[in-house]
Structures are given as structure tokens and as C-alpha cells.
Amino acid sequence: MDSLNRHEDYGQSALDETHLLADPIEQFKAWLIDAEAAQIYEPNAFVLATIDAENQSRARTVLLKGVDQRGFFFATNYLSRKGEAVAANPSVSAVFGWYSMYRQVLIQGIAEKVEPQESDDYFASRPHESQVAAWSSHQSQPIQDRAALDDQFTSALAKFSNSDVPRPEYWGGYRIIPTRIEFWKGRSNRMHDRIEFVREIGADGQLGQWQVQRLQP
């Protein structure tokens, strides 16, 4: 395990406050475009962390499927472990790691279900077999072996072989409404650049203005 003793030098390319846009969501979009241009594998993949009803932390990788001024959109089975955790505690965090570029974006916020029409629209855009998979897999539930899982998929595929696939009521989108977005840039000697944007959500649901500050590494 040579990697445990490796010390990479992340270089001297700086991240200054003046390098960032005033709107962190627009800045995130710019960095995502940079990651795409750099041919990062699955640049829209991020680690989503939740706390469930038993106060247990869980993390898994999901794919970002939309970003705008409302927040960060992803979709999943509402009855999955992540869905149940969000129902119990909507406070979540997300990490986008573009490590070959020495960049990370760390997000904290509140996850909420999107409107059914938005889930319908996204589901309709998915490939046919991905739509079928939403019907065939009881996400996060145990199953005896791979053959049984494949049988479920084959049965669902046959059921919808000559028809459109409707969105299951237990499957849909979430949006993370961000309250903190941190832009991280690796530097030599572990003296990394960390610049965060923070805002509050008022009791009336109104979002405050973004405040920016530098953090020590």
C-alpha cells in the first residue's frame, strides 16, 4: 500500500477571493465545466452524507443531475437508505472531488423533495433500461444473490417491453438547498486555499445573502 506513504505536491497555483464569482452556485458551475474540460471521470459524481433516524451517519456516491439557483438536484428511490435518512433529517452534506485538478467543493444544506412534475420530467429523460431498473430494484433491501436481482430486472423489462415506463411513486428527485459552499484548492506543504460562502435560511424559509470568508487549512 504505497499510497499510504505518498506525499503529493499540489503546486503553488493559488485560489484567491478575487478569483471567485460573487455567486457560489455560478462559481460551482464554472468549476464543473472546468472538470468536464479536463476529462475528469464522472465529474458530476459526489459523495452525499446523511444522518438517519438512529443518528447513524451514512455516505454514498450519487450523480448530480441539475444545478441552478434553487440548488443541486439528484434523484433516487425515496425508500432507499438515503431517502429514509433525508426524511428523518434533511440536513445533508456533499463533496465533489476533482483530485487530479487539486480541487474540491464541499456543500452543506437542506435536502427536500422536488415537485412531482420535475421528477416526472427527469424520469422521462432517462434511458429505457434505467427507467426499468427503478421498478426492478428495491433499493437498499437485501436479496439472496445476483441471479435473483437479474431475474427481477428481466421480469420488469418484459413488463414494459412495448410501453412507456411511468415513474414509480417511490422514486423521484431531491434538491439540496445550500447554506454553505466551500471551494478548496490544494497547495504545497498542505497550506491549502479554502474559501467558503455561507448563508442562513430564515424561519420563514427566506434565504439570506451569501457571506464569504477564508478558512485556515
Catalytic residue from among 180, 190, 194, 199: 190
Cell representation of residue 147: 441471479
In this structure, the number of other CB atoms found within 10 A of the CB of residue 71 comes to: 20
Instruction: Pick the closest to residue 192 from 9, 23, 6 (CA basis).
Output: 9
Given a contact cutoff of 8 angstroms between Cβ atoms, the answer to whether 96 and 113 are in contact is: no
* Residue 59, SS3 per DSSP: strand
Alpha-carbon span 14 to 30, nearest angstrom: 17
For the stretch 7-11, contacts whose Cβ atoms lie closer than 8 Å and that sit 24 or more positions apart, written own/partner, are 9/188, 10/102, 10/186, 10/187, 10/188, 10/192, 11/102, 11/186, 11/187, 11/188
Alpha-carbon span 119 to 202, nearest angstrom: 27
Number of residues assigned to the chain: 217
Q: Is 190 in the active site? A: yes
Catalytic residues: 190
